[in-house]
């Protein structure tokens, strides 16, 4: 049975820079099933945001999707008309962002913004929208919804504002919620509360969530499945348990090794040396090769294909390709 809600295949998006036109993501494949939380993880600059904005067709004007397919509920979004896409964005797919203050307008009360969001997609009276807004605020764990309705965004904390933007995102009962680093700007305790809220919502509404983060702690807490992105490509993809217990790609291994441990006593923290390349200076061969401890000659020459390693895991690394010979490493 095909349980896929969203299927991205071979997606490439290019950006114009002062040095020329370069792909920011290339050949991205990703499936999100109904009710599933898929985390996209990777260092800053890996292409996570570009991937999510591409699927909403919201990438900045200097960027362009040059190939690929995005199927949502069996429909090719890249062929959808502007008007259809706007409907899908408001009704079936919602987004929340890192900075909740950015999503809210400082000059209107929170209440009027939520009511507005509700009324864009549903023809109901202001009074009914008001009632629904109060319900939504309760649903996202706000103890005094009426007080919150009357407040302006700057009068509330970051965590409260993120709850409100989640309430607005939920107002149309979307099938897919895209959350781009939704807790990065918040204090740790508030982060945990927001993640808990997202979990509750997923369970109650059986929604799919695409959660973008650079934090593997968040991945461990939230994900059913993980896609590890590096330099515009998915490097490893799989079931969350498999990825944490038995990571295959050297990049994934490096990320996991970089997680600080409580028992790290005389500990220097591990970090992967080097940095994510810019889109205008991608290395030849495997994009991770210059930083990879296991790289061999072939890695610096040709780009590896994605290899299916088990039912629940695939990785883009020469080590798993048939061409890889014993003793090639080094």
Ligand X SMILES: Nc1ncnc2c1ncn2[C@@H]1O[C@H](COP(=O)(O)OP(=O)(O)O)[C@@H](O)[C@H]1O
Contact window for ligand X (CB under 6 A) among 27-35, 37-45, 189-197, 304-312: 37-45
Choose among ligand X, Mg ion, none what residue 47 binds, the Cβ cut-off being 5 to 8 Å by kind.
ligand X
| Residues forming beta bridges with residue 14, ordered by sequence position | 23, 64
Binds 50: which of ligand X, Mg ion, none (CB < 5-8 Å by kind): ligand X
Least distance between Mg ion and beta carbon 180 (Å): 6
Q: Is 49 in the site for Mg ion (CB under 5 A)?
A: yes
Residues contacting residue 307 through CB under 8 Å, at least 6 positions apart: 314, 315, 316, 317, 320, 321
Residues 190-219 that bind ligand X (CB under 6 A): none
Asked if residue 17 binds ligand X (CB under 6 A), the reply is yes
> For residues 54 and 67, what is the distance between their CA atoms, to the nearest angstrom?
11
Dist. CA 274–CA 169, nearest whole Å: 37
Identify the CA nearest to 100 among candidates 140, 60, 150: 140
Distance, CA of 164 to CA of 114 (rounded, Å)? 8
Give the nearest distance from C-beta 57 to Mg ion in angstroms: 17
Task: Name the one range near ligand X by CB under 6 A: 41-49, 95-103, 198-206, 238-246.
Answer: 41-49
Which CB, 278 or 308, lies closer to ligand X? 278
**Rule CB under 6 A: which of 224-243 touch ligand X?**
none
Name 92's Cβ contacts closer than 8 Å, sequence gap at least 6: 72, 73, 172, 174, 175, 176
* Smallest separation, CB 326 to ligand X (Å): 35
The residue among 20 and 60 lying less far from ligand X, judged by its C-beta, is: 60
Under rule CB under 5 A, residue 208 binds Mg ion: no
Give exposure, 285-314, as e/b (b: 16+ Cβ within 10 Å). Answer: bbbbbbbbebbbebbeeebbebbebeeebb
| Chosen from Mg ion, ligand X, none, partner binding at 174 (C-beta under 5 to 8 Å by type) | none
Q: Residue 27 or residue 45: which is nearer to ligand X going by CB?
A: 45
Residues that bind ligand X (CB under 6 A): 15, 17, 24, 42, 44-50, 60, 62-63, 278-279
């Amino acid at each position: 049975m095909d349980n896929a809600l969203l299927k991205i295949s071979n997606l490439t998006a290019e950006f114009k820079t002062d040095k020329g036109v370069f792909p920011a993501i290339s050949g991205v494949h990703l499936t999100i099933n109904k009710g599933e939380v898929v985390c996209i993880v990777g260092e800053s600059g890996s292409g996570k945001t570009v991937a999510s904005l591409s699927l909403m067709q919201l990438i900045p004007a200097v960027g362009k999707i040059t190939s690929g397919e995005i199927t949502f509920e069996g429909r090719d979004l890249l062929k959808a008309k502007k008007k259809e896409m706007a409907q899908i964005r408001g009704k079936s797919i919602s987004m929340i962002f890192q900075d909740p203050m950015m999503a809210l307008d400082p000059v209107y009360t929170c209440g009027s913004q939520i009511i507005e969001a509700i009324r864009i997609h549903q023809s109901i009276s202001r009074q009914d929208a008001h009632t629904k807004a109060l319900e939504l605020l309760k649903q996202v764990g706000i103890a005094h919804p009426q007080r919150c309705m009357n407040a302006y965004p700057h009068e509330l904390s970051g965590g409260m504002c993120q709850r409100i933007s989640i309430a607005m995102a939920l107002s149309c009962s979307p099938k897919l919620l895209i959350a781009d680093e939704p807790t990065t700007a918040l204090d740790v305790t508030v982060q945990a509360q927001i993640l808990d809220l997202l979990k509750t919502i997923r369970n109650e509404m059986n929604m799919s969530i695409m959660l973008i983060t650079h934090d593997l702690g968040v991945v461990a807490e939230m994900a059913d499945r993980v896609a590890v992105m590096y330099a515009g490509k998915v490097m490893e993809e799989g079931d969350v348990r498999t990825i944490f217990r038995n990571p295959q790609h050297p990049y994934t291994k490096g990320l996991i090794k970089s997680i600080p441990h409580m028992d790290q006593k005389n500990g220097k923290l591990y970090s992967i040396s080097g940095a994510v390349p810019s889109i205008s200076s991608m290395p030849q061969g495997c994009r991770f090769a210059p930083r990879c401890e296991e790289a061999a000659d072939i890695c610096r020459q040709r780009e590896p294909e994605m290899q299916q390693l088990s039912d629940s895991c695939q990785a883009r690394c020469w080590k798993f390709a048939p061409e890889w010979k014993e003793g090639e490493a080094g």
